[in-house]
Structures are given as structure tokens and as C-alpha cells.
């Protein structure tokens, strides 16, 4: 096993996920299988091949620098879990 429960816990913590012990074990096995599969690709000769960053062969999608209407305060804040004045309110952030 390349992936341990400790590795899964680390990734879960970075993603703010709470997992049960059973889940951690399950994911460790699954992630291990994924890595094994990727490992297999190393058998191929990839010399001179640009790393794939995108699945679709497309480049240069631009927009011009023209102001478009924003959606407005009512819509912007409609789904806010908390609101005070026109701000999203969140638990106090200390620096």
C-alpha cells in the first residue's frame, strides 16, 4: 500500500472533510488503485510529449475588456448563509 490512512486524513483535512474510519480505509484502498494505474503509464515512452493540461484540444478563449452588467445586490446576496448590511457575514476572522 502506497497510501496510508494517515495520507487520507491529511488530504481530508486540507479539503475540510470529516471521514469515518471505514471511509478512510476504503479511500486509501481506492486511491492506491488509482496510483497503481498511473504507475502503469510510466511503462510508456513519453519523451517529447507535452504534459496534457486539458482534455479538449483548444487554446486562446478570450473576452474583450468590456463592462457587462453585474447581477445586482439582491441576487448576489440571495443565497448568503448570513448577511449584514450588504456584506456576506462570516465568523470573525482574526489576523
Please give the residue ranges that form the binding site for other proteins (CB under 8 A).
14, 16, 50, 53-56, 58-73, 76-77, 82, 84-95
Cβ neighbours for 8, distance < 8 A, ≥ 6 positions apart: 19, 24, 27, 28, 31
Nearer to other proteins, 40 or 92 (CB): 92
Nearer to other proteins, 10 or 30 (CB): 10
Phi, psi of 83 (to 5 degrees): -140, 135
Distance from C-alpha of 54 to C-alpha of 42, rounded to nearest angstrom: 19
Q: How far is the CB of 16 from other proteins (least distance, A)?
A: 6
Q: How far is the CB of 74 from other proteins (least distance, A)?
A: 10
Distance from C-alpha of 63 to C-alpha of 59, rounded to nearest angstrom: 13
Distance from C-alpha of 52 to C-alpha of 49, rounded to nearest angstrom: 8
Q: How far is the CB of 53 from other proteins (least distance, A)?
A: 4
Nearer to other proteins, 6 or 66 (CB): 66
Amino acid at each position: 500500500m502506497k497510501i496510508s490512512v494517515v495520507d487520507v486524513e491529511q488530504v481530508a483535512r486540507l479539503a475540510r472533510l470529516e471521514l469515518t474510519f471505514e471511509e478512510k480505509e476504503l479511500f486509501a484502498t481506492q486511491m492506491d488503485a488509482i496510483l497503481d494505474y498511473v504507475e502503469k503509464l510510466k511503462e510508456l515512452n513519453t519523451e517529447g510529449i507535452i504534459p496534457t493540461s486539458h482534455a479538449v484540444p483548444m487554446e486562446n478563449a478570450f473576452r474583450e475588456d468590456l463592462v457587462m452588467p453585474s447581477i445586482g445586490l439582491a441576487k448576489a446576496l440571495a443565497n448568503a448563509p448570513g448577511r449584514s448590511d450588504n456584506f456576506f457575514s462570516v465568523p470573525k476572522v482574526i489576523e
